[in-house]
């Protein structure tokens, strides 16, 4: 470690900010920590360990989150919303404005401008500076080097491990691993080996053919011949959901029941698991039937079996033998939906709505619609309670994250608007919210993706695509996520739920197959896959409110 510099030379460290914690005196370090504490308390900024914010920088962000060891040097000008990962640098005289998300280890050279907003100019009779601003936002992946005097314009996504040469003007997305330069920026060469195309017509067709060829192997590795049951992964316990995921995968890739057992055997087994008193399906090995007097109408853990078993039976050409009796009068439904944890667990609340809507759907198909007005009451509550800021339900996390809100929206809208073919309220706000959420590198960097989070982005965008709102951005996002999704596939094993986990399973395989269809359809290529989800993750309505 270098010796502390003389106090008179502290100004130099405002410009060479990477040296501050090694060379500043203890007194100057204490002053920096006091400054950061004041910013955190007064403005709500979230600052990691060993960050540095020069007092000679103009930091006027509405929201600011700096990861560990990130710094803002003298002369920088920041406004809007900035979220960074660890080890990020904003060097002297850099401008970062609008909504900007940086991954880990993003290094930005001096005099660069990253502008996550834009001026509109639609009205020729109004001066441009008086017209409204638009904000799409900019996201930058991990391990990105941005040279000096670069300009990055609103709406751009910069992929992981890319390099932007000094002086470049970036107006379009930068692929992961690319080195770009010029005005407008163009590909110069690859920092990493040239990627093999995994999307587009050839990539989709090759993937679909391979998955169909390997479908039986994917199912076999999770099937136990002694018990006649499926596991999610070869080492996992037997579960109800694993049997249903096997049915869904076989329907998608083979167009039939899983070949490991006769279809009628699978139908009889699924039907036998329904409790005739409640209409619910418990977990395998449960000695007690589901509680008929549960205060929330049903146990949330077991409630998913309404979806998984109901749609597995549907794919096999059958249905539940008994009505799902937890669906009661409209008043109790409204009381229960009001009691859901929308503020801090919107996913759990949406999960509850999904189960209720699906239970109504299967009951109506069996000729048991229940008390009049039940499903209409649920739709009425959802429609009138959608947040006009997001088009969704629930509140963002304290750090601004939208995970709960977006994931809860997928579940609630899937079981209601999507399942019954009803237009969603405020679809353009939904698109805005989903696109903002999908720029969070904590969740959507390829190695951090999981099937739930990507599905919960893909489905709302598919559901709202008829609006034409921000179509170009939706298409670019779908192309990127589709490329990532195809890269998660493992030969003869399928997909892991969490992309980075080593063991693929039935749940991950079923969900990623549905995701790939949705993303391919958003890019106009779904016909190349030769399948379409018809089960839990079906995109098209299963019924209408007017009839069964």
Whether residue 39 lies inside any domain: the answer is: yes
Looking at residue 369, what is its pLDDT?
Answer: 77
Tell me the pLDDT band of 303, cut-offs 50, 70 and 90: confident
Q: Note whether 393 and 387 are within 8 A (CB).
A: yes
Could you report the per-residue pLDDT of 72-108, keeping only the tens digit for each?
999 999 999 999 999 999 999 999 999 999 989 999 9
Looking at residue 189, what is its pLDDT?
Answer: 86
Of 121 and 197, more confident: 121
With a cut of 60, say whether residue 6 has pLDDT above it.
Answer: no
Kindly give the interhelix angle for 506-522 and 471-487, rounded to the nearest 10 degrees: 150
With a cut of 90, say whether residue 123 has pLDDT above it.
Answer: no
Mean pLDDT of 51-56: 94
With a cut of 80, say whether residue 287 has pLDDT above it.
Answer: no
Q: Are residues 311 and 403 in the same domain?
A: yes
Q: Are residues 346 and 475 in the same domain?
A: yes
CA 91 – CA 518 distance, rounded (Å): 41
Q: Are residues 427 and 286 in the same domain?
A: yes
With a cut of 80, say whether residue 192 has pLDDT above it.
Answer: no
Q: Are residues 179 and 225 in the same domain?
A: no
Whether residue 42 lies inside any domain: the answer is: yes
Mean pLDDT of the chain: 90
Could you report the per-residue pLDDT of 427-461, keeping only the tens digit for each?
999 999 999 999 998 899 888 899 999 999 999 99
Whether residue 1 lies inside any domain: the answer is: no
Mean pLDDT of 140-164: 92
Q: Which one of 9, 119, 301, 540 is the catalytic residue?
A: 119
Q: What is the CATH number for 150? A: 2.160.10.10
Looking at residue 4, what is its pLDDT?
Answer: 46
Looking at residue 237, what is its pLDDT?
Answer: 95
Q: Are residues 152 and 245 in the same domain?
A: no
Q: Are residues 433 and 480 in the same domain?
A: yes
Looking at residue 165, what is its pLDDT?
Answer: 96
Q: Are residues 456 and 424 in the same domain?
A: yes
Mean pLDDT of 29-51: 92
Lowest mean pLDDT among 29-43, 184-198, 300-314, 370-384: 184-198
CA 184 – CA 51 distance, rounded (Å): 33
Looking at residue 12, what is its pLDDT?
Answer: 83
Q: What is the pTM of this model?
A: 0.68
With a cut of 50, say whether residue 245 has pLDDT above it.
Answer: yes
Looking at residue 229, what is its pLDDT?
Answer: 97
Kindly give the interhelix angle for 200-213 and 240-254, rounded to the nearest 10 degrees: 120
Q: For residue 127, what are the contacts with CB-CB under 8 A and spacing of at least 6? A: none
Q: Note whether 454 and 513 are within 8 A (CB).
A: no
Looking at residue 196, what is its pLDDT?
Answer: 43
With a cut of 60, say whether residue 475 has pLDDT above it.
Answer: yes
Q: Are residues 146 and 242 in the same domain?
A: no
Q: Are residues 84 and 205 in the same domain?
A: no
Percent of the chain surpassing pLDDT 90: 70
Percent of the chain surpassing pLDDT 70: 94
Whether residue 546 lies inside any domain: the answer is: no
Find the domain containing 184 and state its range.
7-190
Q: Note whether 217 and 492 are within 8 A (CB).
A: yes
Looking at residue 547, what is its pLDDT?
Answer: 55
Looking at residue 541, what is its pLDDT?
Answer: 94
With a cut of 80, say whether residue 195 has pLDDT above it.
Answer: no
Tell me the pLDDT band of 2, cut-offs 50, 70 and 90: very low
Is 199 assigned a catalytic role? no
Mean pLDDT of 318-338: 88
Whether residue 231 lies inside any domain: the answer is: yes
Mean pLDDT of 230-246: 97
Whether residue 256 lies inside any domain: the answer is: yes
Which among 130-134, 498-502, 541-545 has the top mean pLDDT? Answer: 541-545
Looking at residue 172, what is its pLDDT?
Answer: 87
Mean pLDDT of 179-189: 91
Whether residue 322 lies inside any domain: the answer is: yes
Of 185 and 289, more confident: 185
Lowest mean pLDDT among 149-153, 245-249, 517-521, 527-531: 527-531
Looking at residue 330, what is its pLDDT?
Answer: 86
Given 190, 220, 250, the domain boundary residue is 190
Of 72 and 178, more confident: 72
Backbone angles phi, psi at 240, to 5 degrees: -60, -45
Cα radius of gyration (the chain)? 26
Whether residue 460 lies inside any domain: the answer is: yes
CA 206 to chain centre: 26
Mean pLDDT of 236-256: 97
With a cut of 70, say whether residue 193 has pLDDT above it.
Answer: no
Q: What is the CATH number for 238? A: 1.50.10
The tally of domains found in the chain comes to 2
Mean pLDDT of 454-481: 95
- Which long-range contacts does 208-212 make (Cβ < 8 Å, 24+ apart)? 208/528, 208/529, 208/530, 208/531, 210/489, 210/491, 211/253, 211/489, 211/513, 212/253, 212/254, 212/530
Could you report the per-residue pLDDT of 335-379, keeping only the tens digit for each?
889 999 999 999 999 999 999 999 999 999 888 877 888 899 999
Tell me the pLDDT band of 501, cut-offs 50, 70 and 90: confident
């Amino acid at each position: 470690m270098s010796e502390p510099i003389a106090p008179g030379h502290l100004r130099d460290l405002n410009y060479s900010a990477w040296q501050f914690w090694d060379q500043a005196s203890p007194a100057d370090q204490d002053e920096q920590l006091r400054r950061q504490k004041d910013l955190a308390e007064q403005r709500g900024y979230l600052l990691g360990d060993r960050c540095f914010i020069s007092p000679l920088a103009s930091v006027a962000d509405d929201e600011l989150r700096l990861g560990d060891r990130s710094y803002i040097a003298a002369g920088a000008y920041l406004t809007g919303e900035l979220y960074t990962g660890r080890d990020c640098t904003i060097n002297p005289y850099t401008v970062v404005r609008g909504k900007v998300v940086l991954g880990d280890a993003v290094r930005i050279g001096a005099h660069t401008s990253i502008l996550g907003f834009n001026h509109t100019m639609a009205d020729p009779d109004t001066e441009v500076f008086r017209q409204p601003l638009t904000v799409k936002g900019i996201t930058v992946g991990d391990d990105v080097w941005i040279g000096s005097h670069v300009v990055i314009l609103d709406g751009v996504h910069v992929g992981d491990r890319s390099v932007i040469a000094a002086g470049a003007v970036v107006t379009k997305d930068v692929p992961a691993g690319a080195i770009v330069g010029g005005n407008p920026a163009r590909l110069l060469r690859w920092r990493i080996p040239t990627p093999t195309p995994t999307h587009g017509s050839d990539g989709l067709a090759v993937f679909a053919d391979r998955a169909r060829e390997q479908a039986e192997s994917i199912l076999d590795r999770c099937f136990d011949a002694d018990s006649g049951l499926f596991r999610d992964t070869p080492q996992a316990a037997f579960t109800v959901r694993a049997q249903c995921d096997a049915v869904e995968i076989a329907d998608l890739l083979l167009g039939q029941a899983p070949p490991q057992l006769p279809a009628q055997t699978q139908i009889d087994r699924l039907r036998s698991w329904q409790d005739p008193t409640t209409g619910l399906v418990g977990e395998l090995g449960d000695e007690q039937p589901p509680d008929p007097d549960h205060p929330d109408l049903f146990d949330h853990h077991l409630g998913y079996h309404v979806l998984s078993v109901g749609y597995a039976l549907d794919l096999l050409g059958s249905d539940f033998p008994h009505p799902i009796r937890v669906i009661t009068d409209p008043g109790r439904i409204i009381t229960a939906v009001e009691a859901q944890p929308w503020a801090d667990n919107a996913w759990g609340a949406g999960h509850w709505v999904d189960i209720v809507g699906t239970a109504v759907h299967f009951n109506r198909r069996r000729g048991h619609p229940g008390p009049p007005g039940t499903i209409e009451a649920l739709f009425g509550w959802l429609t009138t309670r959608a947040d006009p800021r997001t088009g969704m339900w629930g509140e963002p996390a304290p750090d601004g994250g939208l995970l709960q809100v977006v994931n809860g929206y997928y579940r609630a809208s899937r079981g209601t608007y999507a399942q019954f073919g009803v237009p969603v309220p405020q679809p353009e706000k939904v698109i805005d919210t989903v696109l903002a959420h999908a720029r969070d590198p904590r969740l959507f960097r390829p190695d951090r993706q999981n099937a739930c989070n990507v599905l919960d982005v893909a489905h709302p965008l598919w559901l709202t695509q008829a609006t034409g709102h921000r179509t170009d951005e939706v298409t670019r996002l779908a192309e990127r996520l589709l490329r990532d999704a195809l890269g998660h596939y493992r030969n003869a094993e399928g997909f892991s739920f969490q992309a980075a986990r080593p063991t693929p399973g039935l749940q991950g395989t079923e969900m990623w197959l549905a995701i790939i269809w949705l993303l391919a359809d958003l890019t106009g290529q779904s016909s190349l896959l030769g399948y379409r989800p018809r089960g839990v993750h079906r995109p098209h309505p299963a019924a209408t409110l007017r009839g069964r």
